[in-house]
Chains A and B, each alone.
Chain A
Amino acid sequence: MGLHTLVNDIWTAGIVLQVILAVVLLFRQTWRVFPIFAAYAFFNLFEAAIAYSIYSVYGNKLAYFYVYWACEAISTILGFAVVYEVFGALFSTHQALRRLATNVFRTAVVILIILGIVVIYAQPQADRTAFGSAVMVVAEATRIVEVGLLMFLFLFSTAFGLHWRGQIFGIALGLGLFAAVDLVNVTLRSYFGNGATDILNFARVATFCLSVLMWTAYLAAPERVGVSSEVPERAQLEQWNQAVMELIHR
């Protein structure tokens, strides 16, 4: 079985997985909690169905190209909205941090946009003028911003020891993994040209399937409640506590 056939098979499997994700979103009513993520997931399913029918059923590659990139543009915008939804959910219970996080988040957005623009201008002139190459360069720049923002969220939450609830963690993780692999995909595609198309397509569709699986698993699983540590023996604690109090009030 050739790599091209394998990519098509994984693509088909991805559509099935997205249908399962949509069912989970509907039946667990997760769309009420994460409406933007639900819109993102439903749109991806719609995109996959349309693109698959144009490519595999009708075999119109030119129409597929335009439909695919138009849908990708909308999907990327929704992806940014999902990042913001994750940000809102993560800091909803941490009012003390919210202002600081918002300021740092805005600064990160500006820095990443500048980095994206630098990446666009660092490409050879020929790559920016041909339509297909220009689309890839813009896709690369937007993925840089998306991956950077998700990295910011993970780094900031680690620095402040914030707890990610299961579902929001799953959404961020799946989106982050897919965006990071797609960033490598679009970057190397510009570098290698058509030579590595099949292997890059394989990596992209396989990672997308993995992300859909992650989303489905995290959204379907019940929210786990943290297990408190065992409290040390009371006598030992009182003894220790007394010593500390003496120290502090001396």
Chain B
Amino acid sequence: MITVIVVALALCAVLLFYVAVRSRRKHATLAIRPVDLKAFRTLMDRDDELFLRAQLPRGKFFRLKRQRIRVTLGYVGRIAANASAVLRMTEASRQSAAPEVATAAAQVMELATQIRMQCLLAMGKLCFEYVVPSLQFTPAMLVPKYQSLRDNWSRLGQLQVQNRTPLASAI
């Protein structure tokens, strides 16, 4: 039995390394993809959900809620990917000789890291809600943090010689 577990662990490790290689190739290009925060907020709106719960039969409401969760997960995933791309883009700025650029880059990186953590938490809770749709959870804290990241990223763009403001608009 223990032999099977150990061999399975080793095979999982090899699979994980393979996934890491593929993921690394896939993310060779830094891609900041736009996020429709309006639609994101609409999806998170509890009033909408309460309305649907009141209007629809239980089974149909659960199906619809699961669909909404799937779409919300897509948005959270995109925000997480953007935060990751920002982390990578800012890495070089953190080593900058200009202290203000380095400080701003550090702030952006810290915020991007926090967003990644929140995304993980939000994904976990959304998955939980997907399994038990009668639960209610809104990852509402994600929106202000994401806005804050955009502001800091803009400020960093202004501090640097190269203008990164358009990218700030992109995220």
Interfacial residues, chain A to chain B (CB-CB below 8 A): 93-97, 118-119, 122-123, 140, 144, 147-148, 150-151, 154-155, 158-164, 169, 173, 176-177, 179-181, 183-184, 187-188, 190-191, 224, 226-229, 231-232, 234, 237-238, 240-241, 243-244, 247-248
Write out the residue numbers on chain B whose beta carbons fall within 8 Å of the beta carbon of A140: 6
Write out the residue numbers on chain B whose beta carbons fall within 8 Å of the beta carbon of A163: 27, 84, 87-88, 91
Q: With both chains docked as a complex, state the minimum distance between the C-beta of A208 and any C-beta of chain B, in angstroms.
A: 15
12 A–B pairs (Cβ distance < 8 Å), ordered by A: A94-B87, A94-B109, A140-B6, A144-B6, A147-B13, A169-B20, A173-B20, A180-B10, A181-B10, A229-B29, A237-B170, A243-B38
Interfacial residues, chain B to chain A (CB-CB below 8 A): 2-3, 6-7, 9-14, 16-17, 19-21, 23-24, 27-32, 34, 37-38, 41, 80-81, 83-85, 87-89, 91, 94, 106, 109-110, 113-114, 116-117, 120, 143-144, 147, 166-167, 169-170
Partner of A232, one of B34, B83, B117: B34
A155–B84 Cα distance when bound, in Å, is 15
Write out the residue numbers on chain A whose beta carbons fall within 8 Å of the beta carbon of B16: 151, 154-155
Q: Taking A154-B20, A232-B170 as contacts, is the C-beta distance between A96 and B109 under 8 angstroms?
A: yes
Whether the pair B37, A227 counts as a contact (CB closer than 8 A) is: no
Residue of A nearest to B110 (CB): A96
Residue of A nearest to B35 (CB): A244
A147-B10, A160-B120, A248-B37 given; 16 more Cβ-contact pairs under 8 Å? A118-B2, A144-B9, A151-B16, A154-B16, A159-B120, A161-B81, A162-B87, A173-B21, A180-B11, A184-B6, A224-B28, A228-B89, A237-B169, A244-B37, A247-B41, A248-B147
Partner of B9, one of A147, A227, A231, A237: A147
A244–B166 Cα distance when bound, in Å, is 15
Residue of B nearest to A174 (CB): B17
Whether the pair A238, B169 counts as a contact (CB closer than 8 A) is: yes
A228–B31 Cα distance when bound, in Å, is 7
A158–B139 Cα distance when bound, in Å, is 21
Whether the pair B17, A96 counts as a contact (CB closer than 8 A) is: no
Q: Taking A169-B24, A183-B10, A187-B3 as contacts, is the C-beta distance between A226 and B17 under 8 angstroms?
A: no
Whether the pair A226, B9 counts as a contact (CB closer than 8 A) is: no
Partner of A96, one of B38, B113, B167: B113
Whether the pair A234, B3 counts as a contact (CB closer than 8 A) is: no
Residue of A nearest to B91 (CB): A93
Write out the residue numbers on chain A whose beta carbons fall within 8 Å of the beta carbon of B89: 226, 228
How many residue pairs link A and B with beta carbons under 8 A? The number is 134
Residue of B nearest to A119 (CB): B2
Q: With both chains docked as a complex, state the minimum distance between the C-beta of A104 and any C-beta of chain B, in angstroms.
A: 12
Q: With both chains docked as a complex, state the minimum distance between the C-beta of A226 and any C-beta of chain B, in angstroms.
A: 5
Q: Taking A93-B94, A180-B13, A224-B28 as contacts, is the C-beta distance between A240 and B34 under 8 angstroms?
A: yes
A161–B109 Cα distance when bound, in Å, is 12
Whether the pair B7, A187 counts as a contact (CB closer than 8 A) is: yes
Residue of A nearest to B123 (CB): A159
Residue of A nearest to B119 (CB): A161
Q: With both chains docked as a complex, state the minimum distance between the C-beta of B44 and any C-beta of chain A, in angstroms.
A: 12
Residue of B nearest to A140 (CB): B6
Residue of A nearest to B23 (CB): A158
A151–B6 Cα distance when bound, in Å, is 14
A39–B88 Cα distance when bound, in Å, is 30
Write out the residue numbers on chain A whose beta carbons fall within 8 Å of the beta carbon of B170: 231-232, 237
Whether the pair A94, B24 counts as a contact (CB closer than 8 A) is: no
Residue of A nearest to B2 (CB): A122
A231–B13 Cα distance when bound, in Å, is 37
Write out the residue numbers on chain B whose beta carbons fall within 8 Å of the beta carbon of A159: 116, 120
